[in-house]
Structure 1
């Protein structure tokens, strides 16, 4: 089958899903509005369409408003070019990111022109309340377009979704990268913690620094922060984080690395012992899963959509968002026993092998593409 994806950009969280389809013998294309600063194109090179002149003017005007960045405003590609690109490829399946956006709705129209099956993809929870208006709208859109819908987020409510929820759960996937037994632990005799995230306030890098300062009173720890710094807002936040690191006396203990390529980020996982995602309101972070594939115990906040990949007490900890005491308590308990940390890392790797194997993604999309609209799916 030929799968054609449409999305604002080719995010690195699509690298392994796309690779799984290619490994299964399928063809994959990607049409995007723009390039990001930290993408990898080893699996597929996206076609960058840009935005129409009209929406480009809107984006530029919006970027003048304090607190709004140029890339924060949704866009629309040149309409004629986009439809011609879809028709020329004649994909069997069109995978549409965020179908309720203007770009998504245009992609729905293009799928009808090309005669392609539709699959919708979002990073919201698959679970909706029984009386939720969102449930009704999702069902209505799926029925009107004869589409299936999937998300890598199982549930954000803590409750188990019912079997008739309209969105299918297909988790992020990744092959195991480094087993716990093959990994070199506690380099230089310290517990080495890693954080990955753009330099934005909601990534909570300063909260992570506070946690390192507190843990240093009881444990030998060092840390690395890897982050994208490509905009004026990023540079402002980077300066704030560096100043805060200096104020806490952590200049020699915490390393900050900027704009690290995807492949090098993967190697950083193998050189660290614990992964911490301190950010708030994270729709669906893939970095915890990447860390798990390298046998790291993982910690994230309870507003990260992919916290469902963590088994608290088995391979990590989920702390209350913005709660320093809870973050420190969780990490303190984990660091108290280094053998226990290794066991947690081993469990992370097991979960990757059993629940996030790449073949699961390819099989799920082929099943959705081969059948008419379906909603039932049970978590394995």
Structure 2
């Protein structure tokens, strides 16, 4: 080896484990797509030999602390509840700025990856920029996600939305690389936050985790079953799905399983009782990974009626379980449907149209319905978590675009 030959040095650099700091404004035990992505990212990077730290808020009162978890070292900041949300908590800049600075001194990250432009993400980014540390910024949110928790008239919510977009541009514009899960979200960020270089990069799933294992059998329900999984929140429009099930022909005997919990659960319980659907709608609550997997596998149709989905990991998981889908024609969901091939899109909030599309699938001969599910499974393969982790690892090491070899 001669000093003029740099290849061994480059190879050593690319193999060197990194110290990664993930700034997450929402993280488990929170139940939402952004929190799950942060967890899977930490777990995946730790499995690759990197030293991963996560900075997130506490989920209850108390002082800041650190905990050693299988997926990462998680540093929990003191936080405060908000009256309009059941679990989301806020941190105050004057309480956390010094703690963030001290954490940087202790952890000495090679790269920082923020998951939003809000409180924790914002101040982690500022500290990294001040120290000249590489920053990757991923946006999982749309300002519309905040609307159900703002007790203000719509005109004021519109102002909050414009300010939020402006703040996103101000904060994430300082990152070395900006990503978001879908091309549609990237376009929205260009149009409203004026972030002109945004990389669409799927959150990724372990597509094989939801396939039937060799010789495995899952007991299907004796009746046609529609499945919803996710937070029971305003923007998910689960009430529209319940109404649609009520409108389906009685002879189909369609049942609905709902996995998840959230702030509107009591309203949905009351709606089910009012419609006399108590025997056909089951609330399964928060489910373990295995329970959710089994729910995907026994469902005949998966439905996501939400209108603020940046990607919808649960839809991708259902598709990987070879399930036909009926999705709202809104935000990123149209990217997950080849209309008539793996399912249908329906007009958002249109109960009649949703009932019609669900019925169209459930009335198909079984062979045709299974063929639809097979197309779902084929479509989801490009959302492999391995591809996502490979790409982020390359971005952490200095790439500014998705390398061609990935």
Match of 2:347 among 317, 320, 323: 320
Cα offset, 1:150, TM superposition: 0.3
Assess if the C-alpha contact under 8 Å between 1:124 and 1:305 holds in 2.
no
SS of aligned partner of 1:177: helix
Match of 1:75 among 91, 115, 135: 91
Aligned to 2:25: 8
Correspondences of 1:102-117 after superposition (within 5 Å): 102-117=119-134
SS of aligned partner of 1:69: coil
Correspondences of 1:305-316 after superposition (within 5 Å): 305-316=332-343
Aligned to 1:28: 52
Correspondences of 1:129-208 after superposition (within 5 Å): 145=174, 147-155=176-184, 165-175=196-206, 176-179=208-211, 187-208=220-241
Assess if the C-alpha contact under 8 Å between 1:225 and 1:255 holds in 2.
yes
Q: CA RMSD in A?
A: 3.6
Cα offset, 1:362, TM superposition: 1.4
Cα offset, 1:73, TM superposition: 6.9
Deviations 1:44-97 (A, max 9, x none): 46321123xxxx4xx65xx3xxxx337567534622112211231112210012
Deviations 1:195-242 (A, max 9, x none): 12333333222211122122243524222112224xxxx2xx323222
Distance 1:202 1:241 in 2: 13
Aligned to 2:394: 367
Correspondences of 1:40-59 after superposition (within 5 Å): 43-44=71-72, 46-51=74-79, 56=80
Assess if the C-alpha contact under 8 Å between 1:92 and 1:116 holds in 2.
yes
Cα offset, 1:318, TM superposition: 2.2
Match of 1:90 among 93, 97, 108: 108
Distance 1:79 1:150 in 2: 25
Using the size of structure 1 for normalisation, the TM-score is: 0.77
Distance 1:43 1:306 in 2: 29
Deviations 1:143-165 (A, max 9, x none): 6x351000012216999x99x95
Cα offset, 1:135, TM superposition: 10
Distance 2:340 2:387 in 1: 26
Aligned to 1:119: 136
Distance change (3 Å), C-alpha of 1:73 and 1:134: closer
Distance change (3 Å), C-alpha of 1:50 and 1:267: farther
Greater Cα shift, 164-173 or 18-27:
18-27
Distance 2:50 2:90 in 1: 30
Cα offset, 1:372, TM superposition: 5.8
Assess if the C-alpha contact under 8 Å between 2:122 and 2:171 holds in 1.
no
Cα offset, 1:245, TM superposition: 1.4
Assess if the C-alpha contact under 8 Å between 2:26 and 2:88 holds in 1.
no
Assess if the C-alpha contact under 8 Å between 1:87 and 1:114 holds in 2.
no
Cα offset, 1:140, TM superposition: 7.2
Gap regions ≥5 residues in structure 1: 126-131
Aligned to 2:282: 255
Cα offset, 1:250, TM superposition: 1.6
Match of 2:252 among 207, 210, 219: 219
Greater Cα shift, 321-330 or 191-200:
191-200
Q: Does 1:331 align with 2:362?
A: no
SS of aligned partner of 2:252: coil
Using the size of structure 2 for normalisation, the TM-score is: 0.73
Assess if the C-alpha contact under 8 Å between 1:211 and 1:324 holds in 2.
yes
Assess if the C-alpha contact under 8 Å between 2:116 and 2:141 holds in 1.
no
Distance 2:211 2:360 in 1: 23
SS of aligned partner of 2:20: strand
Assess if the C-alpha contact under 8 Å between 2:186 and 2:199 holds in 1.
no
